[in-house]
Amino acid sequence: MARKPVSPPVAPPSPRTAGQDTPLDKPNAGRQDTAKTSSIQPDTMPPGSVLTTNQGVAVSDDQNSLKAGVRGPTLLEDTLMREKITHFDHERIPERVVHARGAAAHGVFQVYEDLSEISCAQLFRDPKVQTPVFVRFSTVAGSRGSTDTPRDVRGFAVKFYTQEGVWDLVGNNMPVFFIQDANKFPDLIHAVKPEPHNEIPQAQSAHDTFWDFVSLTPESTHMLMWLMSDRALPRSYATMEGFGVHTFRLVDAEGGWRFVKFHWKPLKGVCSLVWDEANLLGGRDPDFNRRDLWEAIERGDFPEWELGLQIVEPADEHKFDFDLLDATKIIPEEVVPIRKVGKLTLNRNPDNFFAETEQVAFHTGHVVPGIDFTNDPLLQGRLFSYIDTQLRRVGPNFHELPINRSLRPVDNNQRDGFGRITINPGKVSYFPNSLGGGCPMHSPTAAAAFRSVTVQEAGAKLRQRSESFNDHFSQATMFWNSMGDWEKDHIAAAFSFELNMVVDQGVRNRVMNELLCNISPQLADMVSGATGIEVAPAGTAEAPTPSAPTPSGPLDPKAAELRSPALSMDKAPPMVRGRKIAILVGDGVDSALVKTLIADLTKAGQVPELIGPTAGAVIDAATKPLAVNRAAPNAPSVIYDAVLIPPGVAEGLMAMPMAQRFIDEAFRHGKPIIAAEDARALFERLGIVDAEGVVIGDNKLSTAMLDNLAQHRFPRRVSNLAPN
């Protein structure tokens, strides 16, 4: 009997059918705003309107991970989050999805005193022990080929090679983050990365998709203040803070525990670039930060940080106006002081960039006995994501690569896989066993092994955010209130620059009226004046109100008065060392005086360089050659921290437009400028005499330079240092 022909399967309906408009037909058309409740039922919505898994299953909540109780831990069974983050982790090979551009160095950590009363971790117990470390700094948004100086968050990841195993403290140079739940991390990074249709822009947040996302995600507001401040433009890795971001636990030998936040405090203080300077550096020295780190270590100017702890007893968990588990919040230092417990010193550069800096694999889940996790939903997701992304990037045996290898011998039943180095003899690769003598076996001493703290967890399985996470504006307002006047100018100018790059008017209006107006009316007015985005009148639909997600914004008088002076950079750094000083020289210069200047500045720990009109040498007043370090065309002002003009060269500089631009740029960027008296006419021509940080005279020039360099910069000297 003949078989009946089988009809080919019917293809699913195409989202683009004849007569329908699509986002390609209407530039402003697109997916419906899924953040708002829709009356359209899923089965009647247009194809592509309902969010689904990769298996086509509709998703009701793509913003929260599945937890045991509203403040409980994230559950392993959360297949929606795992699918989403797994796909995200594997999107790019071989470079990191985020933190792709980095620089690193080896060093040591040494605790100041025995901290056994708060942690049984070996590296915290013996002040005589130096724990080896490897530290990687990085930008977040750009690719490996991007520059060092964009406006961006900086990674600050520390790998401790302890006698008990590896501990990775994987943090940033900002103490908070954009989101509260790891389930939203792929969305954040997709929004800030280059837009997928044209792969533009690189390493920048000044574009529509980023601001569209954050304008619909008010929990990002506090982090935006940090990102728009000069904290996003560090002068060097050695002058930026580091933070563990999350709240962790410290565990003592008896199993008692306390909450802790980790801080890295640079001994050189916190110092930043200004926006115009950072942009120029991107073109003139895109490796500025990594070059500075490398050269500092090579000359023995070792970067140093102190490790600080903020300790909170379990009984005090709920005494704050925010939730300790909320990664978008800080504990102000004035509320819980930072206890400095040890020092990190970087003293050796890598031998091979790829083998060490590129192949190093960090993971928030790499902890040692004495350190444990909390239920922070962002941290809980990172515990899955980091191991997953390292498996994809460097393979299942990444722990065997030299840079990732534990000092303590590794012995377990894991075998095979890509890149296996260890050769395991014998036929036993399981536990329990008798054929291998029961080895490797469980640690006979429970206190010497990692153990999770015993805390009671109970609650319904749900996808929901705790109400204690709902205040999105109070700490953003506190940040604004804590800034100096010039810092506020820079923040407002940064917001203005970013929003002037945004094309979509709806996004611009939303940032203004749903974010900035809820932070500070002053900030909103400053940005409005520079962007033309109108502040909606009170009582209109667009005007900000203390709605459900934002119950405690600046409309609350208490929030409007919050301040934390520790947040401001409006202070002189505690130590200024390793700063590059440009000494402009030319024919006729007094070489004896120049050599004295170099000796004085070098003795003070600074790095003077002679810059001449050309490479090679200039002819001094005694008609002898004086070797220079760089030719002016190859020595832009932005790679220096200050400029010094000795006697005898002003006349030559008057005829050099390049030298005058050098001085003008240094002035605009707030840098110390010291010059001999015969340069006064040049400075009058440039219009920069009698300004803060500008010294003209024949008094000891090196002393004047060191006195002014101790301030780092003079940002009030020019009112318009940031973008506008």
Q: Could you tell me if 207 and 317 lie in one domain? A: yes
Q: Could you tell me if 387 and 245 lie in one domain? A: yes
Per-residue pLDDT at 447: 63
Give the number of C-alpha atoms closer than 13 A to the C-alpha of residue 240, restricted to the C-beta side: 29
Q: Determine, yes or no, domain membership for 68.
A: no
Q: Could you tell me if 549 and 621 lie in one domain? A: no
Is the pLDDT confidence value at 419 over 90?
no
Q: What is the DSSP string of 221-258?
A: HHHHHHHHSGGGSBS-GGGS-EE--S-EEEE-TTS-EE
H helix or E strand, kind and range, residue 82: helix 79-89
Q: Could you tell me if 236 and 166 lie in one domain? A: yes
Per-residue pLDDT at 49: 67
Note whether 498 and 106 are within 8 A (CB): no
Q: Determine, yes or no, domain membership for 49.
A: no
Q: Could you tell me if 543 and 604 lie in one domain? A: no
Task: Answer with the residue of higher pLDDT: 40 or 73.
Answer: 73
Provide, rounded to the nearest whole percent, the portion of the chain with pLDDT above 90: 71
Q: Determine, yes or no, domain membership for 414.
A: no
Pairing outcome for strands 607-612 and 630-631:
parallel
Per-residue pLDDT at 31: 34
Residue from 301, 74, 260 nearest 169 by CA: 260
Per-residue pLDDT at 34: 36
Q: Determine, yes or no, domain membership for 25.
A: no
Per-residue pLDDT at 206: 96
**Dihedral angle at the C-alpha atoms of 296, 300, 301, 306, nearest 10 degrees?**
110
Q: What is the DSSP string of 259-316?
A: EEEEEEEETT---B--HHHHHHHHHH-TTHHHHHHHHHHHTT---EEEEEEEEE-GGG
Structure tokens belonging to residue 566: 């520790």
pLDDT tier, 91 (very low <50, low <70, confident <90, very high otherwise): low
pLDDT tier, 101 (very low <50, low <70, confident <90, very high otherwise): very high
Per-residue pLDDT at 720: 45
Q: Could you tell me if 673 and 545 lie in one domain? A: no
Task: Answer with the residue of higher pLDDT: 274 or 411.
Answer: 274
Residues 390-411: what's their mean pLDDT?
89
Between 485-501 and 275-284, two packed helices, what is the crossing angle to 10 degrees? 60
- 285 phi/psi in degrees, rounded to 5: -150, 80
Q: Could you tell me if 308 and 385 lie in one domain? A: yes
Q: Could you tell me if 616 and 484 lie in one domain? A: no
Domain boundary among 546, 567, 588: 567
Q: Could you tell me if 365 and 231 lie in one domain? A: yes
Per-residue pLDDT at 547: 36
Per-residue pLDDT at 27: 32
Instruction: Output the domain CATH number for residue 341.
Output: 2.40.180.10
Instruction: Output the domain CATH number for residue 617.
Output: 3.40.50.880
Domain boundary among 567, 591, 624: 567
My answer on whether omega of the bond before 332 falls inside 30° of 0, hence cis, is no
pLDDT tier, 543 (very low <50, low <70, confident <90, very high otherwise): low
Q: Which domain holds residue 672?
A: 580-717
Q: Could you tell me if 102 and 212 lie in one domain? A: yes
Note whether 491 and 483 are within 8 A (CB): yes
Give bridge partners of residue 305 from the DSSP assignment.
266, 344
Question: Which residue type is seen at 497?
Answer: F
pLDDT tier, 541 (very low <50, low <70, confident <90, very high otherwise): low
Task: Answer with the residue of higher pLDDT: 572 or 546.
Answer: 572
Note whether 709 and 683 are within 8 A (CB): no
Q: What is the DSSP string of 134-184?
A: EEEEEESSS-TTS-S-SS--EEEEEEEEETTEEEEEEEESSS--S-SSGGG
Pairing outcome for strands 248-251 and 257-266:
antiparallel
Note whether 446 and 452 are within 8 A (CB): no
Q: What is the distance of C-alpha 65 from the center of its chain?
A: 24
pLDDT tier, 8 (very low <50, low <70, confident <90, very high otherwise): very low
Q: Determine, yes or no, domain membership for 295.
A: yes
| Angle at CA of residue 341, ends 335 and 347, nearest 5° | 130
Residue from 248, 250, 230 nearest 239 by CA: 230
Q: Classify 633 as helix, strand or coil.
A: helix
Alpha carbons 510 and 227: distance in angstroms, whole number: 18
Residue from 626, 624, 576, 625 nearest 596 by CA: 626
The length of the chain is: 724
Residue from 448, 456, 458 nearest 251 by CA: 448
The 10s digit of each residue's pLDDT in 176-209 is 999 999 999 999 999 999 999 999 999 999 999 9
Q: Could you tell me if 560 and 587 lie in one domain? A: no
Domain boundary among 403, 424, 452: 403
Q: How far is CA 207 from CA 213, 280, 305, 652, in A?
A: 11, 20, 35, 45
DSSP state of 611: E
Q: Determine, yes or no, domain membership for 133.
A: yes
Is the pLDDT confidence value at 724 over 70?
no
Pairing outcome for strands 607-612 and 371-372:
unpaired
Structure tokens belonging to residue 178: 């954009």
Structure tokens belonging to residue 663: 């001085």
Question: Which residue type is seen at 47?
Answer: P
Give the number of C-alpha atoms closer than 13 A to the C-alpha of residue 517, restricted to the C-beta side: 20
Structure tokens belonging to residue 575: 């130590």
Note whether 20 and 49 are within 8 A (CB): no
What sections of 356-418 are H helices per DSSP?
A: 377-394
Letter string b/e over residues 9-34, b meaning 16 or more CB atoms within 10 A of that residue's CB: eeeeeeeeeeeeeeeeeeeeeeeeee
Structure tokens belonging to residue 93: 């090979």
Q: Classify 50 as helix, strand or coil.
A: coil
Kindly report the average pLDDT of the chain as a whole number: 88
Q: Classify 445 as helix, strand or coil.
A: coil
The three state secondary structure string of 96-142 is CCCCCCEEEEEEEEEECCCCCCCCCCHHHCCCCCCEEEEEEEEECCC
Q: Classify 358 as helix, strand or coil.
A: helix
Q: Classify 462 as helix, strand or coil.
A: strand
Task: Answer with the residue of higher pLDDT: 484 or 719.
Answer: 484
Alpha carbons 474 and 326: distance in angstroms, whole number: 13
Question: Which residue type is seen at 316?
Answer: D
Per-residue pLDDT at 48: 57
The 10s digit of each residue's pLDDT in 155-184 is 999 999 999 989 999 999 999 999 999 999
End-to-end CA distance of the chain: 82
Give bridge partners of residue 644 from the DSSP assignment.
583, 674
Q: Could you tell me if 516 and 600 lie in one domain? A: no
Note whether 662 and 632 are within 8 A (CB): yes
The 10s digit of each residue's pLDDT in 678-712 is 999 999 999 888 899 999 997 899 999 999 999 99
DSSP state of 354: I
Is the pLDDT confidence value at 417 over 90?
no
Is the pLDDT confidence value at 93 over 50?
no
Q: Determine, yes or no, domain membership for 626.
A: yes
The 10s digit of each residue's pLDDT in 115-161 is 999 999 999 999 999 999 999 999 999 999 999 999 999 999 999 99
Q: Determine, yes or no, domain membership for 257.
A: yes
Structure tokens belonging to residue 368: 């040692």
The 10s digit of each residue's pLDDT in 494-506 is 999 999 999 999 9
Per-residue pLDDT at 53: 67
Note whether 102 and 137 are within 8 A (CB): yes
Per-residue pLDDT at 409: 86
Tell me which residues are annotated as active site: 99, 172
The 10s digit of each residue's pLDDT in 215-233 is 999 999 999 999 999 999 9
Count of structural domains within the chain: 3
Is the pLDDT confidence value at 722 over 80?
no
